[in-house]
Structure 1
Amino acid sequence: MERDFSEVKLLGFDVFGTVVDWRSGVARAVAPFLEARDIAIPPAEFADRWRALYEPAMESVRSGKRPWVPLNELNLENLVAALAEVGLDVAAIPMEELEEINKAWERLDPWTDSIEGLTRLKSKYKLAPISNGDIGGMTNLARFAGLPWDMILGAEVTRTYKPQLATYIGSARKAGLEPGQVAMVAAHNYDLAAARRAGLKTVFITRTTEHGPGQKTDLQADSDWHVVGNDLVAVAQALGC
């Protein structure tokens, strides 16, 4: 595919898994809580259980079964459900404690290449998350992880969840741009497939341990995305940054 980025003004990023390591960060946050209650499940496995409820929760909004709910609230609902799955009496846990655990999604470490790659890309492009995260959560995560966004775009801005095309198109419009002036950067092929249908350029990076050592999805690009790189530094190099 021809890689003409001459019209691109903004790079929009998937965040969870692409820019930050959600699995390790969530496992770190829940470990003391699980240990204090003698829950034998490994923290990383609990992180996977919690994350497994992510897509079904968003689908209930995408399908119209329930009105718009920001991701922070969905994550809290999913936390309650995941804790119940492992046998905890969630009603006995103070809501303040649950809300503190839920902040794990705002305290995730960037991948080792992320800050250097983003900093280099920022020299040439505006940067923004086009994430399913809500504005408050994305802002708090950016401050924690040092992510140099120029603005926050994505789900709450458009009140839609990826991979709905409106999330990509609406984000571009909110930035004052046409879809073709935005490139979507993600480690997930489905995300880029939707972005391409919405008219955005596409950049794939590999994150082969996002879901742990046994990951079986998104191990490589499965289409002719405009740019493919092993990490964000490689993407910066490919784009002349």
Structure 2
Amino acid sequence: MTIRALIFDVFGTLVDWRSGVAREAEHLLRPTAPVLDGGAFADAWRARYQPSMETVRSGARPYVDLDVLHGESLPGVIAQFGIGSVPEPVCRSLILAWHRLDAWPEVPAAMARLRESHLLAPVSNGPVRLMADLARRNGIVFDAVLGAGYSRDYKPKPALYRDAVEALGFTAAETLMVAAHSDDLAAAACHGLSTAHVARPREHGPAGGETAPCLPVTYAARDLADLADQLGC
């Protein structure tokens, strides 16, 4: 089956969320927490990511975007680290730190190669504005912005994968879900999509990341450049 479109997980797969959030937290919170371990702060914030989205996935509340969820979870993280009062403008800037993440080194060039012969779109839990900001920051060109902001729900709910296939107009098998997380790929495969695992062994810093998929996939790649090579780009 010819792959005609690629859809991407973003946090961890295309961008290094941990290093970016750690850097911003250490900088923005220095006046009140001069010896903050930014990596630990990023990990603690990320630990609230899935539980916050589950409130939407479960139907307990209507859809709200990830910026709202990050804003709701931030005070708890600040309290967890024993940090004193943080001004509201600093909190807002911390939330927007997720909009200022850097891509993994090979990603911009690999995305340009892939786009020569495929349609590209994020299918992320991040909202449209966040995806646009990350794309502009890292010189990535998407043909569409899909995912949570488009489907009004969070992965791994079926709508995100089905809506992406329908929006791009190819068959599910012609649409390749690219992720560094086996659970994301398992959900995509349930809906007939082709799947590509990209290893990100440093996603969680000292805690590592997935070096190989935990399930059968269509492609398994060392990084995004390797995936582009495998696709003949």
What band does the TM-score fall into relative to the shorter chain? Answer: over 0.9
Whole-Å separation in 1 of the counterparts to 2:171 and 2:159: 13
CA RMSD in angstroms comes to: 1.4
Q: Which of 107, 112, 116 matches 1:114?
A: 107
* 1:41 corresponds to: 36
The 3-state SS of whatever aligns with 1:128 is: strand
The 3-state SS of whatever aligns with 2:207 is: coil
Q: Which of 61, 65, 72 matches 2:60?
A: 65
Q: Which of 211, 215, 218 matches 1:219?
A: 211
Deviations 1:149-174 (A, max 9, x none): 11101111001111111111112212
- TM-score normalised by length of structure 2: 0.95
Same amino acid, percent of matched pairs: 41
- Matched residue type, 1:181: E
Q: Which of 11, 16, 19 matches 1:16?
A: 11
- Matched residue type, 1:229: A
* 1:157 corresponds to: 150
Does the 8 Å CA contact 1:172/1:182 hold for their aligned counterparts?
Answer: yes
Kindly indicate whether residue 224 of structure 2 is the aligned counterpart of residue 232 of structure 1.
Answer: yes
| 1:39 shift after superposition | 5.4
Does the 8 Å CA contact 1:61/1:69 hold for their aligned counterparts?
Answer: yes
Does the 8 Å CA contact 2:32/2:86 hold for their aligned counterparts?
Answer: no
Does the 8 Å CA contact 1:39/1:86 hold for their aligned counterparts?
Answer: no
* 1:100 corresponds to: 93
Whole-Å separation in 1 of the counterparts to 2:148 and 2:171: 18
- Matched residue type, 2:153: T
Whole-Å separation in 1 of the counterparts to 2:202 and 2:118: 28
Unpaired runs of 5+ residues, structure 2, are none
Count of residue correspondences: 233
Kindly indicate whether residue 171 of structure 2 is the aligned counterpart of residue 189 of structure 1.
Answer: no
Does the 8 Å CA contact 2:28/2:90 hold for their aligned counterparts?
Answer: no
Whole-Å separation in 1 of the counterparts to 2:162 and 2:190: 10
Q: Which of 116, 130, 146 matches 1:137?
A: 130
- Matched residue type, 1:57: S
Unpaired runs of 5+ residues, structure 1, are none
Whole-Å separation in 1 of the counterparts to 2:170 and 2:154: 20
| 1:58 shift after superposition | 0.5
Whole-Å separation in 2 of the counterparts to 1:57 and 1:181: 32
Does the 8 Å CA contact 1:11/1:126 hold for their aligned counterparts?
Answer: yes
Kindly indicate whether residue 92 of structure 2 is the aligned counterpart of residue 126 of structure 1.
Answer: no
